């Protein structure tokens, strides 16, 4: 037996991709021209798989804030928040996030993954019960495992299944942690958050919502699904990331519970990870100010994703959910989806190829993510590429020799 025997399945998958000459997981963007344009394999390419929802990665004010932080605070903190890596900007960002959501306080982590890992591994220990949506992100599962909590899945977006499980827990339901996401990253579908909150009100428990993909997208001020539904006060822990709408890197949690501050002293992913660089904090603070200041970017984003969703629907593609910035085209066959993804890239359209086990229910997805920075012309070019590659029933019959 070798320590590498467990890698055999992955090695076989890599070998299969090598034989096809397609590797969607090793794409390198040679040059970034704008939030929506790049050079890949020497070819000008529309970037439609970056999660850059508001297009702020090239925002002049964000870049200026980064430059100023670099000049005055250097390139990095070289330490954790518990040691030497807690700067004034870190605390100010936490307070600004709390104010943005109308919560008591906030805590900032170095990545969105670490936000879930740090919060869940500390909140839910071996004596605690967690009920989580089956389609929750890997970071949520990993956080539960790290803390040693007992966790059970309820069927994706099925509040009735959650209610049944809460009822079976009896008195334990009052201390159960319920976890869902606002907008799911694979299909772009929304959680039935109103129904989940009603279940929490009936049975008790605590509710953590990961708004990573709905921050900056949903709600009157861009706070996410909880704001859109008027439920922020019902959420015990609101988790998010800086790497989508805010165009940076990092993660956070805001809460009204005073115990949030104790997470700093108990969470290993927080204690033993270097804090975000001053430049990252500065650009995130500016991006948050831009988000809070107006609605024009969210309106443009909505116009763009509704245009792309309508275009792909009109072409007859099977889409994963109602319109959102995440638009997933569903395929039945792995080889077909891989070839389609590669053909899109050859046409100058970069999207994401999503395969099991990352996808729900073993789906094969060609996943687009739309930005407010996309022009209508770019959206129409993407639709045109999908139209060019579309396989009609007549073509399928001809290929099969019918």
Q: Which residues are catalytic?
A: 185, 213, 244
Overall size of the chain counted in residues: 402
**SS3 sequence, 174-243?**
HHCEEEEECECCCCCCECCHHHHHHHHHHHCCEEEEECCCCCCCCCCCCCCHHHHCCCHHHCCEEEEECC
Tell me if residue 306 falls in helix, strand or coil: helix
* Cβ count near 66 (within 10 Å): 20
DSSP assignment of 64-117, as one string?
A: HHHHHHHHHH-S---SBTTTT---HHHHHHHHHHHHHHT-SEEEEESSHHHHHH
Angle between helices 278-293 and 60-73 (to 10 degrees): 150
What is the C-alpha separation between 78 and 96, in angstroms, rounded? Answer: 24
CA–CA dist 321, 204 (Å, integer): 30
With DSSP H G I counted as helix, E B as strand and the rest as coil, what are the percentages for the chain, rounded to 5? Answer: 45, 15, 35
**Euclidean distance between CA atoms 129 and 179, whole angstroms:** 11
Residue 22 burial by CB count (10 A; 0-12/13-18/19+): exposed, middle or buried?
Answer: middle
The single residue listed with the structure tokens 């500016």 is 286
């Amino acid at each position: 037996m070798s320590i590498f025997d467990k890698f055999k399945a992955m090695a076989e998958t890599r070998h299969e991709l090598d034989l096809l000459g397609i590797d969607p997981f090793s794409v390198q963007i040679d040059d970034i021209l704008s939030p929506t344009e790049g050079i890949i394999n020497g070819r000008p390419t529309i970037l439609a798989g970056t999660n850059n929802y508001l297009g702020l990665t090239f925002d002049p004010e964000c870049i200026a804030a980064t430059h100023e932080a670099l000049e005055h605070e250097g390139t990095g903190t070289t330490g954790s928040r518990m040691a030497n890596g807690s700067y004034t900007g870190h605390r100010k960002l936490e307070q600004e996030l709390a104010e943005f959501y109308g919560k008591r306080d906030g805590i900032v982590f170095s990545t969105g993954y670490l936000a879930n890992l740090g919060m869940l591994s500390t909140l839910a220990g071996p004596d605690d019960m967690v009920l989580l949506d089956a389609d929750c992100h890997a970071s949520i599962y990993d956080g539960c495992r790290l803390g040693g909590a007992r966790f059970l899945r309820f069927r994706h977006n099925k509040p009735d299944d959650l209610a049944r499980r809460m009822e079976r827990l009896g008195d334990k339901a009052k201390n159960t942690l319920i976890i869902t996401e606002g907008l799911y990253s694979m299909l772009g579908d929304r959680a039935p958050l109103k129904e989940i909150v009603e279940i929490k009100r009936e049975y008790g428990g605590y509710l953590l919502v990961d708004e990573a993909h709905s921050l900056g997208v949903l709600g009157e001020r861009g706070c996410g699904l909880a704001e859109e539904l008027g439920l922020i006060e019902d959420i015990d822990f609101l988790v998010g990331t800086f790497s989508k709408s805010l165009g940076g890197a990092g993660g956070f949690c805001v809460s009204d519970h005073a115990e949030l501050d104790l997470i700093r002293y108990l969470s290993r992913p927080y204690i033993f990870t270097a804090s975000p660089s001053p430049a990252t904090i500065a650009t995130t603070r500016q991006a948050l100010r831009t988000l809070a200041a107006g609605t024009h970017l969210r309106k443009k984003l909505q116009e763009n994703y509704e245009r792309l969703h309508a275009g792909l629907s009109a072409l007859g593609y099977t889409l994963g959910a109602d319109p959102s910035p995440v638009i997933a085209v569903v395929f039945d066959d792995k080889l077909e989806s891989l070839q389609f993804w590669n053909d899109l890239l050859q046409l100058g359209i970069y999207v994401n190829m999503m395969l099991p086990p990352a996808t729900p229910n073993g789906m094969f997805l060609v996943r687009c993510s739309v930005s407010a920075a996309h022009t209508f012309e770019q959206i129409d070019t993407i639709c045109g590429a999908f139209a060019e590659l579309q396989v009609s029933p007549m073509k399928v019959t001809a290929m099969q020799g019918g």
